[in-house]
Amino acid sequence: MRITAEPAFVLHARAWRETSLLVEVLSLNHGRLGLVARGVQGAKRHPLRAALQPLQSIRLEAVQTGELAQLRSAEAVDVAPRLAGDAMLSAFYLNELTLRLTPRGDPQQELFGAYAITRERLRAAEPLGWTLRRFERDLLDALGFGFDWSCDGDGEPVDPAARYRVDPEHGPRRLLSDRGQADRSGAATGRALLDLAADRMPATDDLPGLRRVMRGVLAHHLGPRGLKSWEMLAGLPAAVRGPG
């Protein structure tokens, strides 16, 4: 199968053999693709090598004959966001999470759009914690794992004054008022869940709880092997921390 003029975002690239790269991209019409980019390490191939950096928006040509497609050409569509510090770590998380949860060859146009929006939010230096929570929500929705965050697992409206755990299979579960502090520490406020449902930025105090419940859901779908970025982001302040 020949893939022509395909929009994509670069998720990851690593050296392969002496002059080549193995590249993972999220494409518009073919979902996640694994690409072999041969002979890109020479000086004359610098423009191609530069186009294959993580977070870069590209348009590619490739031939799919097996699990990995052979990259024929790729050109940068724009200038990738120039990020540093916490924003750079957040972008690493964005790419690692997408890489781990999306299957190869399954078109994910909704997710492609969510990734594009999140990339621009990182470029615009929007609040990192909220930017990542929105992407996590949209990723779960695109993969069929999402919930109606305004209702609990029994279909009852979420109470903004209550606290909730989130069951990865059934959605929010209200905590009883007499539950211990250990149980409450892994919960989010109903107010935060309603804000997530309405795409409305939560209060700063509600963001850590929202991060914790989202991490629990993602960890369930990731399986026993966690994310490297969870360790890298663990030191960020709670209000901006990604999944750590």
Cα separation values, 136 from 11, 46, 151, Å? 16, 34, 18
**Domain range list for the chain:** 2-76, 85-233
Under 8 Å between Cβ of 120 and 43? no
* pLDDT tens, position by position, 179-202: 554 455 789 999 999 999 999 999
* Residue 66 pLDDT: 87
* pLDDT tens, position by position, 71-129: 999 999 999 999 999 999 999 999 999 999 999 999 999 999 999 999 999 999 999 99
Crossing angle (nearest 10°) for helices 85-101 and 109-123: 170
> 3-state DSSP call for residue 49?
helix
Torsion sign across C-alpha atoms 229, 230, 236, 237: positive
* Residue 183 pLDDT: 57
CATH for 85-233, options being 1.20.1440.120, 3.40.630.30, 3.30.70.580, 3.20.20.70: 1.20.1440.120
Segment 133-161 mean pLDDT: 96
CATH for 2-76, options being 1.10.10.10, 2.40.50.100, 3.90.45.10, 2.40.50.140: 2.40.50.140
What's the N-to-C CA distance of the chain in angstroms? 40
* Residue 194 pLDDT: 98
Position with higher pLDDT, 202 vs 66: 202
